[in-house]
Every structure is written in structure tokens, then in C-alpha cells.
Amino acid sequence: MATNITFHPGAVSSEERANLLGQRGITLWLTGLSASGKSTIATALEQHLLHLKKHAYRLDGDNIRFGLNKDLGFSEKDRNENIRRISEVAKLFSDSGAIAITAFISPYKADRNLARELHTKSNISFIEVFVDAPLAVVEQRDPKGLYKKARAGEIKEFTGISAPYEPPESPEIHIRTDQLDVAASVKVITEYLVSQGII
């Protein structure tokens, strides 16, 4: 970590910001296998929340790798750093009062726990959403042809095939996308946010 630096606090408290904006910031952390439906649900949820006049912003795994994380590969070390960076970015968005929606495979429990801890230390709500679909289902969907390539050995360290996915043990929200469509999945998340007084 850099030395000779000092954190410069702002003049607006979290409570004042929430009152002025009419909402408090949170992070919705969507995790699940590739092709489980994370990005599709995140996109629909962002649109739905914006139509409800809520400031929401989606941070998508593939999109982030075009810019902020374009220097990272898919080794375990790089995956850890990918999630560490996006955890910090999501925390900044939610600290600003936005509903940050992240859609990342984030296969390791330790990384997701780190993301939660970063938010908890800053008194920011962190809501883990397990976007769950069996491996057989996501392999059948395979919209990008990645599972086929992984099975053929063309992609190394592919989550669910040659690299592990550690499912959440107690997520705040658990969505089975082999049983629910996108609209129903968005409804489940929205109803949770309403029940928690977030929207």
C-alpha cells in the first residue's frame, strides 16, 4: 500500500446523502456460473429500478474486463484481483447513493466474503444474490460457446469445468433460473428490496 497518503473525508454524511437523494446506496452482488443468467437479470433489474426512479448502475463482468480489469487473465490470482477491484468500485458506487448491481461469476467464497467485509466496514448493505442453474442447464444454454470450448480443452481454468465454483452457503436471495424466467427473477429481487425498505 502507498505511504504518505491521508484519507480526505467529504462534508456530506451518508445519512444526509440518503435523505437528499431519497434512497440509500447498496450493492447487489449477483454470482453464479457462466450462462446462469446473471448479466441478463442485472440488465433487466437496472432498467426496472431506473423506471422506478431509483439511481441504479450495473457493473458487468465482461464489460469491466474491457477497461478497468483489461490487464487481468483468468488464473486464480487474477480472478482474486478482479473481484477485489470490483468490490472497491461497487462500494464507491453504493457509497455515492447508487444501487450498484454487479454481475460476476466470482467463484470463490473468500473473494465474495472480502467484498461483503469491505461494504460492512463502511456501513453499506451488501446483498448476495445466488443466480443458480445446474451445470447441465448452463452447458445446454452456452450462448457464447464457452463450455464447448472448455470441454474440448481450448479454454483453461474455466469455472465449472476445469476451475471450481464455490456456491454461496447463505445468500440473501437465491434464484433458480432453471425454474424462473427473467421477469420473475427481477420480481424476486425487487420484492426483497421492498421488504427491506430499500426501495
Strand ranges across the sheet with 99-103:
56-60, 99-103, 26-31, 125-132, 173-176
Cα gap 12→17, rounded to integer Å: 6
Catalytic residue among 106, 170, 185, 195: 106
Those residues with Cβ within 8 angstroms of residue 56's Cβ, 6 or more apart along the chain or in another chain: 45, 46, 49, 50, 98, 99, 100, 101
122 is catalytic: no
- Tell me, rounded to whole angstroms, the distance of Cα 158 from its chain centroid: 19
| All cell numbers assigned to 37 | 443468467
Half-sphere exposure of 157 (CA within 13 A, CB side): 8
Spatial contact of 12 and 162, defined as CB atoms under 8 Å apart? no
Residue numbers annotated as active site: 106
